[in-house]
Each structure stands twice: as structure tokens, then as C-alpha cells.
Structure 1
Amino acid sequence: MAVACGNVSLSCVAASLQRLRIPTLLSAFLTLLNDRLSESIVFPLLPFLLAQFAPDGRTLGLLAGSYALAQFLVTPLIGALSDRYGRRPVISICVAGSVVGLGLFAVTVSLPWPSQSLLPLLLLFAARIIDGISGGTAATASAVLADITPPDKRARAFGLIGVAFGLGFILGPFVGGQLARVAVSLPVWVATGFAALNLLVVLNLLPETHPQHSRKRLPRKRDLNPFARLSQVLMNPSVGRLCGAFFLFFMAFNGFTAILVLYFKQRFGWGPELATTSFLVVGVVATVVQGGLIGPLVKRFGEWRLTLLGLGLVIVGCLLIPSVGTSERAGVIFTAVGILALGTGLVTPSLRSLVSRRLGQDGQGSALGSLQALQSLGSFLGPPLAGLSYDVLGPVSPFAAAATVLVLVIGLVAGSPLPGFSDTQPSQS
């Protein structure tokens, strides 16, 4: 009888833990989905939302890059705050910031403004910066998943990140394109509403997952400087060239993709629905590649070969888009965009894995964190440079410049030290 009661008690405890785990997973999933969904709804529509204020490439590039800059500068602090004060308050504040940033953006693009007024542009930049500062939700939500999952089961739990990001990349452009048919500002209002729903779920369902005994002191100010470790990792003889290639890749890729919709709008006269479809194609292809194909492909061909192949595909897609002369060849354009997405889906995880495998175990966290910082920095610098090139040198110039930089990236990857070549050899079956 005692054993039976003990078994019942253990079952009750397990059921109670499972009940706590479900709202925690739901909160983390919605937070991750909101992080991608809000950006993938707004970003493809920026040229249309900006049309009444500043239709030039420079403003578009700066507005696109401001989000990444804010995220780059603040993400280390957000991670440290969640380690010191807990996950729940940090996620709550970040999601609330997302509601404020998106709401300010929605209000600004919905109001009638006098011509030549700078105020709406200032408000739009403020909105994007607030949203970028609040963009540490993904890292903190990932920490929540790590808190509640044993180490041997974290790979499955982290699969939620890929599912949420994949859904965000697919649903965002689709929802944005469909709603923009009614009003171009409507998708931003829907993104704001989803962020508000996310905030309500977090406030009502998310428990604190980081116990008091595991809290850490805030690091020194210099340790929170996002630039502090970049020079160290770039000067590392084992991974410096690969990290430089990683930075240049994201600078080039995010540069020409930032002006892609503006190019479609001005070159072909595309409206929001067609333009956002191109990003829907990117979401579908990238999700398929990174969600299911990358593992078997790495096992068969190795990261080094896949990185070079992916870079080649991105260059092909980058050059194919401006070669299309008429809007009637939409199928060719979507094919080119699919090639871009396929290439990017191969490059990003393969190049990250190459860096990881070159490092000793002790250097993993620091270097991989620096890779994320390099990605954010490249995502900030690329769009303004591409926008300036678009205005000054012509609409085709960002594509040509990106292809040139990507050739340099191929040189860095191909010429990087490959000890014994064993870490990039395909597995023998």
C-alpha cells in the first residue's frame, strides 16, 4: 500500500511539473514567434510604409539598419540582466518594449502628416530603435528552454526555436502581403496586436525559471561592450578568417535584401502582395533547408564544401535578379530568390559549425557569441551602404557590390587553414 501511495504521489508530482511546463513552453514559443513574426511582417513592407515620407534608398537602408544596431548594442546587457534578475522580468520588459515600438510605428504610418515634416521620420526611427532594443527576447526565451530542460533533452527543446523562426519567416510575409491589400498600415497594427497578446501570455502564464541560487552578478561594463571581443575573435589564427567571412557575408546579404523590395517596387511596379511573396519564398526554402536538409547534407558533403556551394548559389541569385528585364518574368525572379534562400540556408549553419569545430571546448561560448555580434553588426552596416549605392550609383549597383564581396568571402573560406582537411571531409557511409 505504501509503495502504491508513493507511486501515486510521484505521478501527481510529475503531472504537476508537466502542467507547469506547458505554459512555460507556450510562453517561450509565442515569444520566439513574436520576435520573428513582427520583423518579417514589417521589414518587407518598409518601402511602401516609407513612400509618403522618404522613398529613397538611403533612408530605407538606415531605417532597416537601425533595428540591427540597437539589437547589437543591447543584447549582451539583456542576457546579463536575465542571469542577474531572472528570465520573467526581462522577457516581460522586452515584449512590452516590442509593443511600444510596433505601436509607435503603426500610429506614425497611419496618421496624415504635413509634407516635408521631419517628425514622422524621427518617430519611425525611434520606433525601430525601441523595437531593436527589445529584441533580446529570443536569447532570453532560449534561456528559459534551457532552464526547464535536462541537458540530454535540450536539442529537442531547442527545436522549438527553429519551428517558431520558420513559422515567423513564412507567416510574416504572407500575412503582411494579404493585409496590405486592405491598407498598407494594417499589417503593422496586427503585429502590434500579436505582441500585446504575447505580453499578456507572458505576464499571466510564464513562471520564473531561473532560481535565486543560480543568479549571477552583473559583469563589468567593459565585458558588456559588444565590440570588446570582436577584435579578439577576428585576430584568432584558427577562426579569424572564417569570422571575417561570416561578418562580410551578412553585410553583403542584408545589404541587397534590404533594398530588394524597393527595387521590385520601382523597377517592376510591384505592389505589397507580390513583393512580400518573394520573402515568403525565402521563408519556405530556408525553413526546409535548415529544418530538415542541412543535417544529411553536412553528413554527406561536409561544412566546408556546403559553405562554398551556398556562397556560389547566393552569388547566382544575386546576379540573376537584376538580369530580369520585365515584370512579366515573375517566375524567374521567384526562382532567383529561392536560389538565394537555398544558398543562405547552406552558408549560415555550415559556416557557424566550421568556426565551432575549429575551437577548443573552452572557447565555444565566447566565439559563438561573437559570431552573433558580427552578424548583427553586418546587418547594421549592409543596408545603409546598399541604400547609398542604390541612390548614387543606380539600382543594380547593390547587387553587383554584394556579389563582389561574396567572391571575397569565398576566398576567405577557401583559403582558411584546414588542418588535415579532416573536419570538412564528408562522412563515409
Structure 2
Amino acid sequence: MHGLPGAQKVITDLTNPSQRADALGKLGLCFGIGIIIGSALGGVLSTKFRVSCFLPLTYINTVLINMSSSVGSSQSGSMFSIREILRLMKFPGVMEVFIVKVFAGLPIGLFLIMFSIISMDFFGLEAVESGYLMSYFGVLQMVVQGLVIGRLTNNCTERTLLRLSVFVFAGVGLGMALMRTVWHYCIIAVPLVFAFSMLGTITDSILTKAVPSSDTGTMLGICASVQPLTRTVGPTIGGVLYKQFGVSSFGYLQLVVNIGLFVYLLKNKIPLREVKSQ
């Protein structure tokens, strides 16, 4: 889980504000490839062999990490300091954008946490088929983050893209509430991946621009804590929603939350440091 935040920190240090959103989007290409290969390979290996076969892969990963050269960090202090977090939240626009980041992706995060169960119980998929489905997500993520997000960030303001991602998320919620088959889900996955990737990239870009350059590492650390937080509370909340109300409950929750956030973004002029690419 630390791989992506670490790479984002390096990218943030090496880019200027006008290039940051585009660079963070292209970073998803590498992780998209990992999702494609890892999901397909994981499904096959878990079916043909025992789970212990994954252990050697972790050793290979450790060797590769140790071989890589270290990059200096501008971060100061501890990112786990409550006082430090509260200090950063006081910068103009930071608290508002962070709230949107947390709540806009929370319902879909709950769904994705429960996806392994939903894929077997609701869609009736086997392990290999689930792996292929995740590889499909990887392809979509690679295309969106590598080709789409960069073009949009060069031609649209981050305020517009933030509103767009929340609006698309609301539409995804409606689609999820109505879906019945895995083919429906494959169609919904296109705007889902777009909104998910756009929201993450744009909010990270906005938040790192809103704080001093010496605090970008800490800010990215705070942003990276959103997904672990979702994974912590997600299984309990997601399990209750799925058992009591079914798969459609995730879609309705996604729809209601993001419509509320979209109205909030339209009515409130959140101060953003808009820096257009040259």
C-alpha cells in the first residue's frame, strides 16, 4: 500500500505545479500494468497452486526495491502528528477538497472492498474470471490515466474537473443501483474508472498545490490515508449494506452522496490555486 504514495511523492517533488496533475495521471500507467498482469496471474496461480506460491514474488519485489536509488525528501516532521494535520487543513481550500475526496469515493470504496464476495455471490464468477475482470479494470485505468486525464488537465481547470468527477460518480451510482449482470458492470466500469482516477489525481494535485512545497510529502501522506481508512471501516459497513439491502444499496448511497457533493461544489467557491499548463 505504500508503493503508490511513495511514487506520488517523488513525482510531486520532480514536477512543477502546472505539470503535476498530468504527471500524477500518467503515473497510473505503471500501476495499471501491475493491475492487469497481477490480477490475471493471481487468479490463475490461486486456482492451480496454493496461496504460498505468492511468497517468492514478495522477495523479488524486495530485491528490486533495495536496488533502486533513493530520492531525497523535502518532508519535515511527522505526518502522524495531529497538530501537523490540523495545521495543513487550515490552508485555504484544503479542508473542503479533502472532505470531497473522502466522501465522494467512500461508497464505491465500500463496494470494491466487498467485490470479491459480490463477484462470486452476485455475479457467479470463479477466481480466474474475477482475475480477468480486474485485468479489464487495469486496462481501463491505464487508458484513462495515461491518455485521458493528461489531455483534460491541459484544457480544463481543476475546479471543473473536480465537479465533473463528482457528477460522473453520481451517474455511476445510478448505474450500479440498476445493474443485474456482470456485463452491466463492465459497462459501468468505464465511467467508474474515469471518475475514480480523475478524483484521486485532481484532489491530490489541488491539495499539494494548496500547501507549501515543504509540506507536500505530509499532504500526500494524509491523502494516502483515505484508502486505508476505507479498508478499516469498509468490511463492517459494506457487509451490513450487502447483507441487509443488497448490491443496489452501494449504488444508491453513491448517488445520494455525490449529488450532495456536486451541489456543494456548485454553491461554494472553494479557493483553489489554478495553474494552467504552458
User: Same fold, TM exceeding 0.5?
Assistant: yes
1:195 aligns with 2:71: no
State the Cα deviation string for residues 307-361 of structure 1 (Å, max 9, x = none): 2222222232333234233x4xx43221112221121122211222233344455
Alpha-carbon contact 2:5-2:221 (below 8 Å) kept:
no
Alpha-carbon offset, residue 363 of structure 1: 5.0
Out of 265, 270, 274, the position equivalent to 1:423 is 274
1:170 aligns with 2:36: yes
1:138/1:371 Cα in 2 relative to 1: closer, same or farther (>3 Å)? closer
1:243 aligns with 2:98: yes
Q: CA separation in 2, counterparts of 1:348 and 1:215?
A: 22
The residue identity in structure 2 corresponding to 1:172 is G
State the Cα deviation string for residues 258-294 of structure 1 (Å, max 9, x = none): 1233223222322223333332222111121112221
Out of 254, 267, 272, the position equivalent to 2:109 is 254
1:166/1:364 Cα in 2 relative to 1: closer, same or farther (>3 Å)? same
Alpha-carbon contact 1:178-1:273 (below 8 Å) kept:
yes
- Give the equivalent residue in structure 2 for 1:266: 121
Which stretch has the larger CA shift, 239-248 or 228-237?
Answer: 228-237
1:173/1:365 Cα in 2 relative to 1: closer, same or farther (>3 Å)? closer
Q: CA separation in 2, counterparts of 1:312 and 1:141?
A: 28
1:363/1:268 Cα in 2 relative to 1: closer, same or farther (>3 Å)? closer
TM-score by length of 2: 0.77
Alpha-carbon contact 2:96-2:270 (below 8 Å) kept:
no
1:163/1:265 Cα in 2 relative to 1: closer, same or farther (>3 Å)? same
Q: CA separation in 2, counterparts of 1:198 and 1:237?
A: 40
Alpha-carbon offset, residue 300 of structure 1: 1.6
1:333/1:138 Cα in 2 relative to 1: closer, same or farther (>3 Å)? closer
1:386 aligns with 2:252: no
Alpha-carbon contact 2:165-2:196 (below 8 Å) kept:
yes
- Give the equivalent residue in structure 1 for 2:187: 335
- Give the equivalent residue in structure 2 for 1:297: 152
Q: CA separation in 2, counterparts of 1:386 and 1:350?
A: 26
1:373 aligns with 2:236: no
Count of matched residue pairs? 273
- For the pair shown, the structure with the greater C-alpha radius of gyration is 1
- Give the equivalent residue in structure 1 for 2:200: 348
State the Cα deviation string for residues 111-161 of structure 1 (Å, max 9, x = none): xxxxxxxxxxxxxxxxxxxxxxxx445556777x78xx9889xx9x99995
State the Cα deviation string for residues 165-219 of structure 1 (Å, max 9, x = none): 1221211221123334435xx4x4343221122234456xx27747xxx899x95
Alpha-carbon offset, residue 232 of structure 1: 3.8
TM-score by length of 1: 0.53
What is the root-mean-square deviation of aligned Cα atoms in Å? 3.9
1:418/1:348 Cα in 2 relative to 1: closer, same or farther (>3 Å)? same
State the Cα deviation string for residues 202-247 of structure 1 (Å, max 9, x = none): 56xx27747xxx899x95xxx4536444444445443211111111
Which stretch has the larger CA shift, 373-382 or 384-393?
Answer: 373-382
Higher relative contact order (CA 8 A, sep 6+): 2
Alpha-carbon contact 1:307-1:351 (below 8 Å) kept:
yes
State the Cα deviation string for residues 7-60 of structure 1 (Å, max 9, x = none): xxxxxxxxxxxxxxxxxxxxxxxxxxxxxxxxxxxxxxxxxxxxxxxxxxxxxx
Alpha-carbon offset, residue 303 of structure 1: 1.7
Q: CA separation in 1, counterparts of 2:41 and 2:61?
A: 17
- Give the equivalent residue in structure 2 for 1:82: none
Q: CA separation in 1, counterparts of 2:183 and 2:44?
A: 19
Q: CA separation in 2, counterparts of 1:294 and 1:337?
A: 16
Q: CA separation in 2, counterparts of 1:189 and 1:365?
A: 35
1:404 aligns with 2:270: no
- Give the equivalent residue in structure 2 for 1:179: 45
Using the aligned pairs only, state the percent identity: 18
Alpha-carbon contact 2:8-2:220 (below 8 Å) kept:
no
The residue identity in structure 2 corresponding to 1:191 is F
Structure 2 residues without counterparts, runs of 5 or longer: none
Report SS of the residue matched to 1:423.
Answer: coil
Alpha-carbon contact 2:79-2:85 (below 8 Å) kept:
no
1:270/1:375 Cα in 2 relative to 1: closer, same or farther (>3 Å)? closer
Alpha-carbon contact 2:24-2:201 (below 8 Å) kept:
no
Alpha-carbon contact 2:39-2:131 (below 8 Å) kept:
yes
Structure 1 residues without counterparts, runs of 5 or longer: 1-134
